[in-house]
Amino acid sequence: MDSVLLLGEAEGYIQSLEKMALRDMGSPRWFRQHEYIEKLNMQAILNASANQEEFIKDLFVSLGKIPTLVHAMILTEVWKHKVFPIICKLQDFKPKSTFLLYMVIHHEATIINLLETIMYHKESSEAAGDSVLDLLDYCHRKLTLLAGRSVSGQIPTEDRITHAQLSDTASVQDLQRQSDMLEFEISVKALSVLCYVTDHIESLSLSVLSRMLCTHNMPCVLVQLVENCPWNRGTLEKYTEGKWRTVRLEDQLKLSKHDGQVWMALLNLLLKPDCQRKYDFNSFNKTQLLKLRGFLTDVVIDQLPNLLDLRHFLSQLTVTDPAAPKKDLILEQVPEIWNNIVTENSSKWKAIAKYQVTHVFNPSESELREQASRLAQTYNLDVMENLIPDKPKCGACGRVGAKRCSRCQGEWYCNRECQVKHWPKHKPACKLMAEAIEKLQEELNISS
């Protein structure tokens, strides 16, 4: 399969990754790097399905490029918060195509997905160096936002539209709504990354531990996620594998992947000796942590037996007051990426937005045709299906899909009844995807 990267190709892609300026977002140089990261991400998915997860990880570790990935992700985050809202307010900005703008918005999700695969390994956390502090800050921002939106009922109720489903004529405001929906998916991925970092906390610096426990109080943030469970809609639907899916009756008490990650992160942060010595079990923290006892039922512990240790610890915590941590004088590292980007561009947000709408996001016909061609190659539907480790699932009930929608080719169903039942929900996305594919084919002058 031509989508599989050879060792030399993957090494060349990773070696070419470089830190960019905020003004370069969306430029041809940026687009080339985005294409490399997308292909590496697809390769990482393929490796995971073939139980060869270390292929891409080893290259990123040996070439020292994990900090570059973290920088690119945070750069996109800053752009989405500071520049993109200004672009959305420019009334005279009516680009011929919004695909490139969507690629910039989607860039953050691509990187966090790649980091989720890479950071599973201990060597990756060590190779991240000082940037692991920036990564922790990033995860904290995403998880506090996720918890806050869950409390206020602002969790998206629909699956986001993918790049293939997005109409080429979609407005900038449509992209803004899609960006908000994409934020939920990114936040869930950030939970995975945080869980993996806590798995390897013993091999990281004291500054990492201090920032996680003292600066950000991550145990209490995780308690909020256990309480509100943003990836569950009651017992009827759960967010799994990037989509909201109906839960079968026999699976309603089954922990999801995200539930398990929250509990594993809490186990690491509360029971590991180094963490217990560093964490301040004051009255507020103690009250928050004791809320977990109500969720540690026998059904939950049967699925994660290690949680029995956490239940014993919380039982002891109810009758004891652990000693306050010693306040040693230490030189603590601080994260720099977010602050450096914001400081460097603090008075230039509007200027950057105006430059980009003129020179970047308003391409000529020839540039648009070239971008369409490269996007078609990068996001080939057949390639993506070959990279999926599991069989396609029915969009209505979640069972194994046997046939897919003949119009858009993007949704699978197990039978005709499920397709008819799901049609009212699928119809808008189906129309957008079919129109986008038709338009793309016309631009490339290829047949269906």
Tokens of 34: 């985005």
CA 337, 340, 345 angle in degrees (round to 5)? 125
Tokens of 145: 């936002």
Query: Which pLDDT score is estimated for 433?
Result: 65
Domain boundaries, the chain: 7-279+325-387, 403-446
Distances (CA, A) of 141 to 77, 83, 135, 144, 168: 11, 18, 10, 5, 32
User: Which residues, other chains included, contact 206 with Cβ-Cβ below 8 Å and sequence gap of 6+?
Assistant: 330, 332
Number of C-beta neighbours around residue 199 at 10 A: 19
Q: What single-letter DSSP state applies at residue 160?
A: P
Which uninterrupted H or E stretch holds 144? Answer: helix 131-151
CA-based nearest residue to 97, from 373, 412, 296, 297: 373
**Burial class for 190, CB neighbours closer than 10 Å (0-12, 13-18, 19+):** buried
Query: Which pLDDT score is estimated for 158?
Result: 62
Tokens of 39: 């292909």
How far apart, in whole angstroms, are the C-alpha atoms of residue 181 and residue 177? 6
Residues of the chain with pLDDT under 70: 1-5, 45-53, 157-170, 327-332, 368, 371-391, 409-410, 432-448
Whether residue 128 contacts residue 69, with contact meaning beta carbons closer than 8 Å, is answered with no
CA-based nearest residue to 370, from 86, 31, 76: 31
Category of 162 on φ-ψ map: left (φ > 0), alpha (ψ -120 to 50) or beta: beta
Query: Which pLDDT score is estimated for 178?
Result: 80
User: Where do we find the tokens 């759960």?
Assistant: 238
HEC string for 234-298:
CCCEEEECCEEEECCHHHCCCCCHHHHHHHHHHHHHHHCHHHHHHCCCCHHHHHHHHHHHHHCCH
Number of C-beta neighbours around residue 403 at 10 A: 14
Query: Which pLDDT score is estimated for 250?
Result: 81
Query: Which pLDDT score is estimated for 385?
Result: 47
Q: Is the dihedral of CA 58, 62, 63, 64 positive or negative?
A: positive
How far apart, in whole angstroms, are the C-alpha atoms of residue 249 and residue 281? 39
